[in-house]
Amino acid sequence: MFLPTRKSITISIIILLLNQTTTLVSSKCTCDDNSNDNNNVSEALKYKLIAMTTTLVASIIGVCLPIMAKNYRYLNPENDFYFLVKSFAAGVILATGFIHILHDAFENLTNPCIGEKPWGLFPFSGFVAMLAAIGTLIMEALLTGYHKRSELMKAQPLEDEDEEVHHHHHGAGGGNVLNPALPSSNRLDSPEDSPDHLRNSIVSQILELAIVAHSIIVGVSLGVSQSPNTIKPLVAALSFHQCFEGMGLGACISQAQFKNYTVVIMVLFFCFTIPTGIGVGIGISKIYNEGSPKALIVEGILLSASAGILIYMALVDLLASDFMNPKMLRSLRLQLAAILALLVGVICMSLLVLWEGP
């Protein structure tokens, strides 16, 4: 029977410690800039320029389709089909928040490069997302309340003033109703002052800010990458991503009934975000290290906040308001169709993860 000697035991322990040390070192080496692998700067630049063009075109198509569709009777916001378009778009936005953004935020804030304390001791990605969702709710409530109180304060003095003018011209006992031609008669009845218009305006603006924040990070990350193998699968995935997200944003903009110049500004702001981010990434690619602790923390926090806002907007402002709409509640067929459109949007956006790769 073979009995291990003291020397063999010592050698075994040394080998075991060396293996453990090698494992630890290799896990810590992920913080280094690995952008030198498979680098081809000229080829990567070519794909970046292609990405700028395709994402711009896809963004324009996606955001403009719902806006232009209101000119057609069957795609009018008052039509049943529009509920299906919004449900599909809400599913896309919901999957973007849960599957794409929150996942990336979790990876950034649990990366071993940023240290165990405090990032490894608490789920900061979920916490920031929760705070962002609560902050969005508070912002919407405060803005809506402010506008409603402003309307009431402006309407009451004008109404009293109209009564005095009427009393002066017709006498105290005339008993006639107020002149409908007076300016204040339609002040609260105009579409721009309606509660739905106000709510849709706030929703569309907050939604665009959340999408833009995420798009800037995505664009800069793609712009600083020097690996064609990393960029190539992202070109098509980001194009579909922008098209689907644009449909959701365009539906909200269309429903808000902004003035033409406001619509143009919001559309351009959305469409040029990723191309601009890619351009910025190209400019700083030589000095920016996306694997540095500071970059990981900043990106992780911003991505978490964007995810929280998008998830809140999709569930509360888009889905809940439409699914509780009396028109939908009266039609089981419309409800089932909207649920199907929602699931299709979620599945389509979720499957893009396979296209983007690890």
Please report, for the chain, the start and end positions of each structural domain, with discontinuous segments joined by +. Answer: 64-70+78-151+193-357
Cβ atoms of 237 and 297 closer than 8 Å: no
Residue 28, C-beta contacts closer than 8 angstroms, at least 6 positions apart: 112, 113
Overall pTM surpassing 0.75 (yes/no): no
Question: How big, in percent rounded to 5, are the helix, strand and coil portions of the chain?
Answer: 80, 0, 20
How many other CB atoms are there within 10 angstroms of residue 99's CB atom? 17
Closest CA to 305 of 132, 139, 136: 132
CA 307, CA 97: separation in Å to the nearest integer? 4
Digit-by-digit pLDDT tens for the chain (358 residues) are 444 554 454 444 444 433 443 333 333 444 554 444 456 788 888 889 999 999 999 999 988 888 887 666 655 656 777 788 888 888 988 988 898 889 888 998 998 888 877 888 889 999 999 999 999 899 888 888 887 888 778 766 545 555 554 555 554 444 444 444 444 444 444 555 566 677 778 888 888 888 888 888 888 888 888 888 778 878 888 888 888 888 878 888 887 878 888 899 999 999 999 999 999 988 888 887 777 888 888 888 988 998 998 899 889 888 988 899 888 899 999 999 999 999 998 998 888 777 665 5
286: nearest Cα among 13, 41, 20, 49? 41
Which DSSP string corresponds to 65-114? Answer: HHHHHTTSGGGSTTSHHHHHHHHHHHHHHHHIIIIIIHHHHHHHHT-GGG
> What is the b/e burial string over 267-296, where b = at least 16 CB atoms within 10 angstroms of the residue's CB?
beebbbbbbbbbbbbbeebeebebeeeebb
From the DSSP assignment, how many helices (H) and strands (E) are in the chain? 13, 0
User: DSSP letter at 319?
Assistant: I
Q: Which of 246, 290, 320, 230 is nearest to 40 (CA)?
A: 230
Separation between Cα atoms, residue 101 and residue 218, nearest integer Å: 10
Q: What contacts 48, CB < 8 A, 6 or more positions away? A: 222, 223, 231, 278, 281, 282
How far is Cα 135 from Cα 356, in angstroms, rounded to an integer? 31
pLDDT at 162: 52
Task: Quote the longest CA-to-CA distance of the chain.
Answer: 123
